[in-house]
Amino acid sequence: MAAQAVEIAKAGSLAKAPEGIRWAAESVYKDVFRTPVEKDPFEVSLEQKLDLLLAANAEALRVRGVKKSHASMRFAGEHRFLANSEGTQVESETTMSTAQVRATAVDTRTAKTRYFSAYPKNIGYEHIEATPLVAEATRVGEEAVAQLSARPCPVGKKDLILHPSHLVLTMHESIGHATELDRVLGMEESLAGSSFATVDQLGALKYGSELMNVVCDNTMPFGLGSRGYDDDGVAAQRWHVIRDGILVDYQTGREVCHAIGAERSRGSCRADSWGSIPIVRQSNLGLEPGAEPLSPEELIADTKDGIYIEGIGSFSIDQKRYNFQFGGDCFWEIKNGKKGAILRDVTYQAITPEFWGAMDAICDERFWTPYGVLNCGKGDPGQVARMTHGSAPARFRQINVGDASK
Amino acid sequence: MNESAAKEAIEKVLNLARADDVFVRMGGSAFHSTRVADNLITQNVARCNVSVRVDCAFGRQHGSAITNVFDDAALQAVVRRAAAIARVSPPDPEYMPPVPSEEAARYPEVARSYDEQTACCAPRWRAEQIVEATKPVEAKGFRLSGAYATGSGFTALGNSAGLRAYHRSTHAEMHCSVLGANGSGWARQASNDVAALDASAIAGQALTIAEAAQCPADLEPGRYTVVLRPAAVFGLLGYLWSAFDAKATDEGRTFLRGKLGTRVCGRNISIGSDPSDKRSPGRPFQSDGLASQKLAWIREGVLENLIYSRYWAARKKRAATGRPANTLVAGGDSTVESLIRGVDRGILVTRFWYIRAVDPMRASITGMTRDGLFLIERGQVAGPIRHMRFNERLFDLLGRVEQLGVPERVSLSAMVPAMRVREFNFTSATRF
């Protein structure tokens, strides 16, 4: 296998950069990282897991109008050992746990699905036990039924209040991917695309409003990107990519960080398995909470004409991460400071810097919640990575909304 | 893994399992890829993996487990695990016993899709192809980014009802974007035979589009007649099959509910599957061992078939269809150029990107154009325009197709024509 790797590397040198590959220096480590786990999910009996899932399904199906329920759990145990010719030898054992229930309501005209998740975390089965999966199954069942007869999304400009369970994907697509330095440099151009946040704008690009502070943190407890070291052998770090609305840094690996004059990688290079090559992947990345005390209820009370969105729905963005259109999982009308009826089929469309520039309020740290992403696709051949994005509910003024398929 | 080795491994696992029903499925692949960005090779990888999945059933209680370790202890462990899961699982009313051995007699003859040269293609050969393809691009001051991939794969099945099946294939694919300072082009080719791939021609196609795509102008979004190149049509059809599941449809959970046997799009649209089609050969059997079939899904605009699993087919007293072995969209004899000549004012689309379902119950989708979008005026390409987002209902769109091109092989398993479509719905623009 080593001989094959050498043969492949030699072939690659037929079209190499004149200056060759430059790897940023990094200390040598001998270390072990383990996800703190109170209850190993692989030791919990199948019967116990099945009982919980079947109970969640039964609760959802008890709701009149719910015709289908799907409950699932997923656990991932990864044991990695990284050794390089510099002398680094690091071992990591991570454990990921998540569970979900989805309820589908069907009537004579249409069908609507709503979900609840014990959001993916690097943690043990105690996460599942602490999550009211069965009780929430009833709520999401009722909200799926309510969407069947809900009014469709109005067309026009609305103030949006986005819950962290929704912002997770908006951040992932419009900030996370756009600040991966390999993309920015064109190394993903042929498949995933590049980025509008180009290197020449570092320190100057107005990404959003002054309230916008985005921090990457691979030291974050329970983060899906937290495993001590990346697959370049770089120790986990915490840093701002956007400060006070200005682009100030990127997510980097040792091969690419020199392009911004950095002497050290930010440690964002990961492979999705033993069979994949490490590439720059999103870190745990989050929107910092607001500095002033502000609850979601107060934010809604301060909003005259808006829509409140929870959960992930349809999502699409161009290859430079400018033009996007997102849906959600459940939507409520906000009228004169009050959360009103459920709406259906809400989508919103924006250009990334204009959207983040329209953010005028973020709830405080009491409401900051991390949500994990399990299915981040990138690379060629494709790889699937996991990471966590946290935020507090935030408001975005006068965003285009509408039933996009009209 | 060759046929005899795969079947030997399957017999071994079948002999280890003690259950009412046992189903063993093996899959393996060797994937080799050379990737380039900005005219330089940036990534060169090879990956091989073989796995075995074991399904055990006791009555209607069933469980599955999978491993990629093939020593005796690992195989015994995976069988024990599948049986243990089955024992604690509640009876599944939708469980179907293994496909009987007689099914193998129904497997269609398919064109050979395995080529030894493609399976053994060396990294240096791929690199040389890319280097040669890049030279004319670089000479014109453009940058090429893409990948050249080759490899092989196999699937082998065996069950306690005596069914045995094996199929292998190879793949060779190159795709590339060619970029200038203010616009890009793209091209792709896929084949089971690496000798059929012409890297320089692919790069040349992308370069031609890129040269024409520089410095795009603004155009107001709205409804336009579009000429969609085959790759663009293929992108739109990506969500087609999600509406075809018969059980979900009968339960009211897809757009096609209540529409079987009715007109769902234009008379000029026919979409079928045929594993024996020589242009795009399919696998002769499905993942459960059922024979792959030649089927018309939409014939002259009428929905003729849905995807019936064995369980739902038995419930509905119909024949099981399995999933489409490939996607064959009937075309016409028009070239892309002749489709363009029929447009007074419209848009030529190279391809789409990031297409997602917006509302599956309306078959509505959204996405962006990518790598070359052009204004058409008075039957000719007038110039590049900035990329736009579309929102469309897929079957409505297939009802507005004015003319079809000659089908092209847009992936290993799809033959799709270019289309001219009226009133295509662009809803917003981006900044490049």
CA B120 to CA A166: how far, in whole Å? 46
Distance of residue B432 Cα from the nearest chain A Cα, in angstroms? 9
B121 with B234, same domain: the answer is no
pLDDT tens figures, A96-110: 999 999 999 999 999
Alpha carbon A176 to its chain centroid, in Å, reads: 8
State the average pLDDT over residues B338-364: 97
Complex-level ipTM beyond the 0.85 threshold: yes
Same domain for B167 and B223?
no
- Among A107, A322, A406, select the one facing B431 at the smallest CB separation: A322
Q: Which of residues 130-189 of A touch B (CB under 8 A)?
A: 186-189
- Closest residue in B to A17 (Cα) is B40
Q: Is A2 on the interface with B (CB under 8 A)?
A: no
What H or E segment, with its residue span, contains residue A112? strand A111-122
| Residue A16 pLDDT greater than 90, yes or no | no
d(CA A81, CA B102): 48
Per-residue confidence band for A403, with pLDDT thresholds at 50, 70 and 90: low
Where does the pLDDT of residue A12 fall: very low under 50, low under 70, confident under 90, or very high at 90 and above?
confident
Stated length of chain A: 406
Cβ atoms B152, B119 nearer than 8 A: yes
Q: A317 CB near a chain B CB, below 8 Å?
A: yes
Same domain, B252 and B390: yes
Q: Which of residues B151, B179, B208 is at a domain's end?
A: B208
What's the gap in Å between the CA of B162 and the closest CA on chain A?
A: 31
pLDDT for position A210: 98
| CATH at residue B140 | 3.30.2290.10
Q: Residue B44: its pLDDT value, please?
A: 92
**pLDDT, averaged across chain A:** 96
B79 and B55 in a common domain: yes
- Rounded to the nearest angstrom, the minimum Cα separation between A168 and chain B is 18
- Res. A116: pLDDT tops 90: yes
Q: Within this chain, do residues B169 and B236 fall inside the same structural domain, yes or no?
A: no
Same structural domain, B182 and B236 = no
Which among B359, B361, B387 is the top mutation candidate for probing chain A, defined by the most A β-carbons within 10 Å of its own β-carbon?
Answer: B359
B430's CB contacts (< 8 A; 6+ apart) are A318, A320, A322, A323, A351, B368, B386, B387, B388, B389
Contacts of B368 in chain A (CB under 8 A): 316-319, 323
Tokens read off for A71: 């409950």
Residues B72 and B180 in one domain: yes
Say yes or no: B249 and B105 in one domain: no
**Domain end position, chosen among B180, B208, B236:** B208
Rounded to a whole number of angstroms, the distance from the CA of B127 to the nearest CA of chain A is 6
Residues on chain A touching B147 (C-beta within 8 angstroms): 190-191, 380
The amino acid at B372: G
Residue B325 and residue B301 share a domain: yes
Kindly determine whether residue B131 and residue A15, on different chains, have CB atoms separated by under 8 Å: yes
> Is residue B319 domain-shared with residue B185, that is, in the same domain?
no
Q: Are residues B230 and B201 in the same domain?
A: no
Q: Which of B51, B356, B369 would you mutate first to test chain A, the one with the most A CBs within 10 A?
A: B356
Which residue is closest to B135 within chain A, CA to CA?
A: A15
Q: Which domains does chain A have, with CATH numbers?
A: 33-148 (3.30.2290.10), 156-198+271-401 (no CATH)
Contact call for B88 and A318, based on CB within 8 A: no
DSSP secondary structure of B274-295 = -TT-TTS---SB-TTSPBP--E
- Name the nearest CA neighbour of A136 among A339, A375, A310: A310
Chain B CB within 8 Å of residue A68 CB: yes
Averaged over A333-351, what is the pLDDT? 97
Same domain for B223 and B169 = no
Q: What integer best gives the mean pLDDT of chain B? A: 97
Q: What is the pLDDT of residues A264-322, one digit of tens each?
A: 999 999 999 999 999 999 999 999 999 999 999 999 999 999 999 999 999 999 999 99
Name the percent of chain B lying above pLDDT 70.
100
Indicate the residue among B144, B174, B208 that finishes a domain: B208
Report the number of distinct structural domains present in chain B: 2
Per the CB < 8 Å rule, is B368 touching A11? no
Q: Which domain holds residue B73?
A: 3-208
- A58–B contact, CB cutoff 8 A: no
Residues of A in contact with B392 (CB under 8 A): 405
pLDDT mean over B397-406: 98
Instruction: Please tell me the predicted confidence (pLDDT) of residue B101.
Output: 98
CB neighbourhood size of A302 (10 A): 16
Output the six-digit token pair for A94. 């991570």
